Chain A
Amino acid sequence: MTWTRRHLLSIEELSLAEIEQIHATSAAFKKILQRNVKKVPALRGKTIVNLFLEPSTRTRMAFDMAAKRLSADVIAFDAASSSTQKGETLRDTAENIQALNADMIVIRHAAAGSPLYLSKILDIPVINAGDGAHEHPTQGLLDTFTMKEHLGSMKGRKVAILGDILFSRVARSNIHALTKMGSAVTLVGPSTLVPHGFTALGAKVSHDLKSALADADVVMLLRIQHERQGHRHFPSLGEYTSMFGLNKTRASWLNPRAIIMHPGPINRGVEIDSELADGERSVILEQVTNGIAVRMAVLYLCAGYQPEHVISSTE
């Protein structure tokens, strides 16, 4: 199969074969990151603009590093000191970036659908680095890549996602990726943050923490997203922690070989105790490392995409 996508907007639109191709390419890049010379000239001469209009540490740094490992030039767009502060629209900003001869845009935006919108008005590849509560495709890809490294095939595996599902683009991307890979996803948390509607995406919804944890090969914790909550969905952080925070007792319910994941940033002592975040079963920092390889794969594949009509004429 040949990669035919110019943009990476969501995992929902990807096929299983495409997800597997990204994972295979990521594995090849991960090997490069372990060498003395951690750089290849694959995207030499290309310019990638990181258009981050929402705060980010890991994703932004990982995209930055991924582009540099591929020998691309990276321009970081700093929202605070840009003309968006003077009222420039997203469309104008993006069209100006394209007019400056950028070869690719990586966008993070608080509005769901903004990467899709840019992909329709720009000619260059658009990579979604998180759009509102919609999707965060590279996070879903790096999470599933990390799971495969630990568990092998994800077919028939059970993944519990615990916490603020309602506002989580990470949860949505993971649900799409995991269901395509044949895993069973159970969403757990307070009913206000885990609405029943998620069953439409193929996930199971549960409010029984103990049985969900006992059953899981992977438990993924999500941060309580204060910034997206217009009004409170639970009485207090303390109450959330006492009901759903992962502590030593609850971790003892887990399958002994289960791994603990978190996309970061962690609220230590809220959704997870420090002891567990730093413990043996935690793969949280591996997720960060894998984030570079996966983003290298995504940048590389989308830069080297072959338009559909070229492929169909030769196959």
Chain B
Amino acid sequence: MAVAKPKTIGPREVHAAIERLAAAIEARHPDSKGLLVLGIANGGIPVARRLCARLGIRRVGDLDISFHRDDIGKHPIPKEFTPTLLPGDVNGATVLLVDDVLFTGRTVKAALDELFDHGRPATVELAVLVDRGCRRLPVAADFSGIALAAAQDEDVVVSLHDDPARDRIDIRPREARAQRAASSR
């Protein structure tokens, strides 16, 4: 099996992608301050914070989807939970979900389930920093910063830091938990 070489996207491109996202959101929502922006834990949280800082949006919160995952037993349970934190009423709100990477679409489905446990938003849109392809569910982003065609067996890892000069996106071969476990048996 041919494994693609690790590839890295540097801070300049990452920042340009965030800027593209922000501009597109602003274009569709001239009054973007009325949006309720929710970062999907954990990767979506720093992206949501960056976008809101750029757009001057105060209503930014976190959405924890741990208990809505449909794959219990297949992945380790995280040690810490970032609890869902809603800065405003979901009912009737225009919600912008933010994630770092859009892959199969399962996370978005779980995020919608979690969101609707809290109320009935008027509109829900999705912004992702990276759309890496390989969708398994009928889910599409309303806004995406970078489109990649990563292979099924690759991981796309976004790292946003306090020091923006260290921001990066890595595309590297999958750390195959299941495969490795099987071969070690």
> A interface vs B, CB < 8 Å?
1-3, 21, 24-25, 27-29, 31-32, 35-37, 39-44, 70, 300-301, 303-306, 309-311, 313-314
Contact = CB atoms under 8 A, between A and B. Distances in A.
B181 A25 contact: no
A42 B181 contact: no
Contact of A37 (B83, B118, B184): B118
Contact of A301 (B77, B118, B175): B77
Contacts of B28: none
Given A32-B67, A309-B181, A304 B73 contact: yes
Interface in B43-86: 64, 66-70, 72-73, 75-77, 79-81, 83-84
B84 to A, nearest CB: 7
Given A309-B181, A314-B177, A42 B69 contact: yes
Contacts of B175: 314
Contacts of B119: 36
A300 B117 contact: no
B77 A304 contact: yes
Contacts of B77: 2-3, 25, 300-301, 304, 306
Contacts of A27: 81, 83
B161 interface: no
B177 to A, nearest CB: 5
B184 A28 contact: no
A313 B69 CA distance: 24
Contact of B67 (A1, A40, A305, A313): A40
A213 to B, nearest CB: 36
Contacts of A303: 72-73
B31 interface: no
Contacts of A42: 66-69, 72
A24 B180 contact: no
Contacts of A21: 79
Nearest to A41: B68
For the side of the interface on B, what is the size category?
A: 20 to 34
Contact of B76 (A3, A31, A36): A3
A306 B76 contact: yes
Nearest to A307: B181
Contacts of A24: 79-81
B177 A28 contact: no
A311 B76 contact: yes
Contacts of B178: 310
A41 B68 CA distance: 6
A15 B40 CA distance: 31
A313 B80 CA distance: 22
A2 B76 contact: yes
B69 A37 contact: no
B113 interface: yes
Contacts of A313: 177, 180-181, 184
A35 B118 contact: yes
A42 B72 CA distance: 7
B117 A35 contact: yes
Contact of A309 (B66, B79, B184): B184
B132 to A, nearest CB: 22
Contacts of B177: 310, 313-314
B116 to A, nearest CB: 8
B134 to A, nearest CB: 22
Given A37-B118, A40-B68, A43-B72, 11 more contacts: A3-B77, A25-B81, A28-B83, A35-B117, A37-B117, A41-B68, A300-B77, A304-B73, A310-B178, A313-B177, A314-B177
B185 interface: yes
B107 to A, nearest CB: 14
A128 to B, nearest CB: 20
A205 B141 CA distance: 64
23 contacts: A1-B79, A24-B79, A25-B77, A28-B83, A31-B84, A35-B118, A37-B118, A40-B68, A41-B67, A41-B113, A42-B66, A42-B68, A301-B77, A303-B73, A304-B75, A304-B76, A304-B77, A305-B73, A306-B76, A306-B77, A310-B178, A311-B76, A314-B175
